[in-house]
Amino acid sequence: ETIHPCRPNSWHSTFETPNPLVNSHDLHALYNIHDKLSVSDDHDLLLRSHRLILLHALRQRALHIAHEGHQGLTKTKQLLREKIWFPGIDGLTKKLIDTCLACQATVVQQPFEPLRMTGLPQAPWQQLSVDFCGPLPSDDMLYVVIDEYSRYPEVEIVRSASANTVIPKLDRILLTHGIPTEIKSDNGPPFQSHSFSQFAQHMGFHNLLYIQAYLLKNSNLVLL
């Protein structure tokens, strides 16, 4: 049933009068590569170049055979691509391996370093950490500034995490408590923006951006 519409000059009639026995998703996927399809001489095999296109009933069996050695995603894909093809083959292969207990048991997990505190600054309000908490049920967020020496927090309620929102709030806090030596953040969009960099330069503090791996190892920022 699937082979017949894939013959030359048959596509138009196939889409005009759909066959309920043929998977429509597969049919559209095959049409997208119809110039690469061919039918065997005895008209019982559908090929994509030299590779056999499998019917639904045979696909899971083929995937399990290719994966019998539990050689991982890349090797399993290579084995399949040598002989067969069907729409969605890569996605189904990945799903099979992601749910394979034997494969998951052999994956080497990179352990995180133990959580540790950063060094204590020499005086209050020299080093600050900033981050957002939320969103809250009201859709507001909390913009939190923490002094790493005293752990004293300043909290502002904000409607967005944009630089245009952050800068005026931080400006008010710094005018109240003074200008720090440095401010650490999680490398989020407002803190890596050009306007925030200009603000840091104008106020005279270092804008330190840290990636997520740093945050997982430094609890001063995690506490936010």
Q: For each of the domains in the chain, give its residue range(s) and CATH number, in order of start.
A: 3-106 (1.10.340.70), 127-218 (3.30.420.10)
Number of helices followed by number of strands (H, E) in the chain: 10, 9
For residue 46, what are the β-bridge partners?
39
Q: Which of the four pLDDT bands, split at 50, 70 and 90, describes residue 135?
A: confident
R_g of the chain, CA atoms, integer Å: 29
Whether a cis peptide bond, with omega within 30° of 0, leads into 20 is no
- Give the pLDDT score at 223: 44
Read off the pLDDT of each residue in 206-216 and give the average, rounded to a whole number.
66
pLDDT band, very low/low/confident/very high, at 9 (cuts 50, 70, 90): low
pTM of the model: 0.46
88-111 residue pLDDT tens: 899 999 999 888 887 777 666 656
One-letter amino acid at 110 equals: Q
Question: Residue 48 carries which DSSP code?
Answer: E
Rounded Cα–Cα distance for residues 183 and 147 (Å) = 9
